[in-house]
Amino acid sequence: MTWALILSLGAAAYFLKLLGAVIIGHRSMPAALQRCLLLIPAALLAALITKDTFTSGQEIVLDARIVGLAVAAVLSWRKAPFAVTVFAGVGATALFRLFA
C-alpha cells in the first residue's frame, strides 16, 4: 500500500461522511431506523471478535483464544472494568498456551 492510496481512501471516507451529513441535513430519521443503526457497531464488533477467535487464515481453529474470550465474556457479563476484562482475557490465553 502506498501513502497516496491510504490518503485517497481516507479522503473518500471523509467525503462520504460529509455527503451523508449534507444529504440528510436536519431531517430526522424514523425511531425504528435510528434504533437499528445504533445496534450496528455492536454487531460488527461481535462479528469481528468471533471471526478472529475461531479462524486462522481460511481454516476454523479451536485454540487458546477461546479460553481468553470465555474469561473476557464472563468478566464483561459481571460488569468488570474494561482494562481488567482485557488483561484477564489476554492473561488467560497466555497461561493456557503456556501449560497446554
**pLDDT tens, residue by residue, 42-88:** 999 999 999 999 998 889 999 999 999 999 999 999 999 999 999 99
Number of domain units in the chain: 2
- Give residue 92's domain range: 63-100
Tell whether 47 is covered by a domain.
Answer: yes
pTM for this prediction: 0.64
Predicted confidence at residue 30, as pLDDT, reads 86
The length of the chain in residues reads 100
Of the residues 10, 28, 51, the one at which a domain ends: 51
Q: Are residues 70 and 46 in the same domain?
A: no
Which run of H or E residues covers position 59? Answer: strand 59-60
Q: Are residues 45 and 1 in the same domain?
A: yes
Distance CA 76, CA 22 (A): 38
Tell whether 4 is covered by a domain.
Answer: yes
Average pLDDT over residues 26-32: 83
Q: For the chain, what is the mean pLDDT? A: 91
Tell whether 58 is covered by a domain.
Answer: no
Burial category of 7 from C-beta neighbours within 10 Å (exposed 0-12, middle 13-18, buried 19 and up):
exposed
Residue with cell 473518500: 12
pLDDT in tens, 2-19: 999 999 999 999 998 888
